[in-house]
Chain A
């Protein structure tokens, strides 16, 4: 069982609200990622971090922002939610554990903006 947690699991929120999706891992991984997954299944990388104070934009443009103040925490924020932000958001972490480079995923947050 992976030690990476996302909250909330489900969120329904009105247009214009500010929201923060939480992601925490207790494995000491330096690399963390946010993916957006549409109903068509495909995983789109929207943000990643290689360590504290490191954040980069992913391959898919997103209006969200991220921060990495602590190794274990990688929250994603939307300043003003819109219906187009409705999607599944998956957080992942990766690091050398026993020589493995396996990425571990959280359960995801399903966001609906009405």
Chain B
């Protein structure tokens, strides 16, 4: 079945440094790739997403890159701040057109930003 691998499982960086989280997906029909941030005691919340017709997308300090050929996508956070500390999940989906559009989540990355 479809699966999404995510690395690393834990990541510790100094405040101001960059953080990179990488995911690999197996379903070549996937065309929608969101990233979610989960803070302690809360549900995951979308922070950025990318579609297969785009190679890169940026939103302030957050960027996502997609390599469809290699079936890789990555989350980049620059100038990290303590409030970026959370669990981050990548996901892949075939999109919203039909019934087979489950979001398949990666295993999560616990990011700790040290002040």
Residues of A within 8 A of B (CB): 2, 31, 33, 35, 41-43, 45, 48, 50, 59, 90, 92, 94-96, 101-108
Contact = CB atoms under 8 A, between A and B. Distances in A.
B108 A41 contact: yes
Contacts of B93: 101
Contact of B101 (A92, A101, A105): A101
B30 to A, nearest CB: 12
Interface residues of B, number: 24
B4 to A, nearest CB: 11
B57 interface: no
Contact of A90 (B32, B43, B101): B43
A103 B92 CA distance: 12
Q: Which of A31, A33, A41, A102 has the most CB of B within 10 A?
A: A41
B52 interface: no
A48 B43 CA distance: 17
13 contacts: A2-B43, A33-B102, A33-B103, A41-B108, A41-B110, A43-B89, A43-B108, A90-B43, A101-B32, A102-B34, A103-B46, A105-B36, A107-B43
